[in-house]
Amino acid sequence: MTLNQRDKKHLWHPLTQHKLHPNNIAITKAKDCVLYDENGNSYIDAISSWYTCMYGHCNDYITNRVSTQMQQLHHVVFSSLTHEPAIKLSEELISILPNNQEKLFFSDNGSTSVEIGIKMALQYHFNQGEKRNVLIAFEDGFHGDTFGAMSVSGLSVYNGPFKDFFLDVKRIPTPNGKNHNAILNTLQDIIKNNNVAGFVYEPLVQGAAAMKMHNAEGLNAILKLCKAHNIITVADEVMTGFGKTGTYFASDQIETKPDVICLSKALTAGIMPMAITSCSQKIYDAFYSDDLSKGLFHGHTYSANPLACTAALAGIELLKSETIKNSINTIINSHKKFNKHIKSHPKVKSTRQLGIIYALDLNIEMERYGNLRDKLFKFFLDNGVFLRPLGSTIYIQAPYIITQTELQKIYQVIEDALETL
Ligand SMILES: *Cc1c(COP(=O)(O)O)cnc(C)c1O
């Protein structure tokens, strides 16, 4: 039996309706930007395995560092004990995060990093004796699949069965350069009529909304208004963090800095699951007290796993290197060139780019997981490229170490795909 056949017996895959999509390709190894399957096919990983492995698969530098750490210390409880990988990571990460960030809280995935951000916002007010029970979020945002994260996600097509159990969330549109005043008026109304605790948002790029991009000045105006009302701002940089937008963090491109930042995905360079919720001194101080119950009583068994911390440290070292900085610039320029070439194609409705994130909307309507989308997905696979269209949007978020040959192949396959539609 093949791996693909054995897979079907006991495995239940994420975001999958197994009756409609029974087959999963069995990957047996991966190196740099290439995935190899059990039948000898290879695929360029054009989405960095859900935006994680930005320095490539099985990166020698990172895997050696983790392997050395493995001989020294695997894991210990992070409550009453501590260790150097977490301490070093805190020093390194704080040095590249926006200036106002001071403290790091660990968990294991993007959704939990958002849960913790929401808890920080709610308890911040609770600890000062203020009852604030409403959150604000963008339409079409995506923040994960746990309850708090689902509640703030606007893209909730698949959240139907759980809707009755959600937190109280009010939504505002994303700023597009023309609607600032309307958004600010809506926001004023929401603030006037509710006790708003926090605002949770993906800064500049909404990943799951098909790399929808919004206006930095408009976002800044929203953040300023939130700050004026002491609404805790929680930037979900799970997707945008660690260089994707052309700066270390998307928040670097916005004048008003968030109180809280959620990090995961590229944090550990695609090697291990880990997440961090960072916050400013102001947030931390609201929990610092002689009163035990004012602490943040949240914890995960694998918090600050030393191996994951080591992977993150090695990843940050690479991110700061001239080599990776140059690679990022090369990708940015290649995308720009490709964009010039493809944007007036009759099948292309619109295109957008921020940093190494590039997206192209087809002027053909497609369901998010519909037949046409599946056909497109298969076309890419058959041509050796792993790209997962989101409805009628094709997007690229390739590892920083991608070669020019691989990048050109991705562009060519996209262009060929347009001809088949
Ligand atoms: C992927 C993602 C999440 C959820 O992270 P998981 O690790 O899948 O739980 C949250 N927010 C954003 C912006 C994401 O892209």
> By alpha-carbon position, which residue is closest to atom 8 of ligand 1?
110
CATH for the 3-59+322-420 domain, from 3.40.190.10, 3.40.50.300, 3.90.1150.10, 1.10.10.10 = 3.90.1150.10
- How far is 372 from 369, CA to CA, in rounded Å? 8
Please report the atom of ligand 1 found closest to the CA of residue 273. Answer: 7
Ligand-binding site membership of 300 (annotated): yes
Please report the atom of ligand 1 found closest to the CA of residue 110. Answer: 5
pLDDT in tens, 136-162: 999 999 999 999 999 999 976 778 899
Nearest 5°: the CA angle 417, 26, 268 is 90
What residue spans in the chain does CATH classification 3.90.1150.10 cover? 3-59+322-420
Ligand-binding site membership of 373 (annotated): no
pLDDT in tens, 59-105: 999 999 999 999 999 999 999 999 999 999 999 999 999 999 999 99
Cα 206 to middle of ligand 1, angstroms:
11
Cα 110 to middle of ligand 1, angstroms:
4
State yes or no: pLDDT of 399 exceeds 70.
yes
pLDDT in tens, 41-59: 999 999 999 999 999 999 9
Architecture of the domain whose range is 73-320: 3-Layer(aba) Sandwich (3.40)
> Per mean pLDDT, which range of 21-25, 108-112, 353-357 is the poorest?
21-25
> By alpha-carbon position, which residue is closest to atom 6 of ligand 1?
110
* CB-defined site of ligand 1, < 6 Å: 109-111, 114, 142-144, 202, 207, 236, 238-239, 264
Cα 15 to middle of ligand 1, angstroms:
13
Beta strands in 122-166 (DSSP E): 134-138
Q: Please provide the average confidence, as pLDDT, over all residues in the chain.
A: 96
User: Is there a contact between 116 and 277 (Cβ–Cβ < 8 Å)?
Assistant: yes
Ligand-binding site membership of 301 (annotated): yes
DSSP letters along 233-299, please?
Answer: EEEE-TTTTTTTTSSSSGGGGSSSPPSEEEE-GGGGTTSS--EEEEEEHHHHHHH-SSSGGGS----
Cα 143 to middle of ligand 1, angstroms:
6
- Cβ partners under 8 Å of residue 365, min gap 6: 392
Kindly report whether the global pTM for this prediction surpasses the value 0.85: yes
**251, 348, 372, 417 from 362: Cα distances, Å:** 29, 5, 12, 11
pLDDT number for residue 156: 66
DSSP letter, residue 173: P
What residue spans in the chain does CATH classification 3.40.640.10 cover? 73-320
Residue 134 pLDDT level (bands cut at 50, 70, 90): very high
Please report the atom of ligand 1 found closest to the CA of residue 275. Answer: 7
User: Is there a contact between 218 and 179 (Cβ–Cβ < 8 Å)?
Assistant: yes
Please report the atom of ligand 1 found closest to the CA of residue 50. Answer: 1
pLDDT number for residue 221: 98
Ligand-binding site membership of 140 (annotated): no
Ligand-binding site membership of 265 (annotated): yes
pLDDT in tens, 191-225: 999 999 999 999 999 999 999 999 999 999 999 99
pLDDT number for residue 331: 98
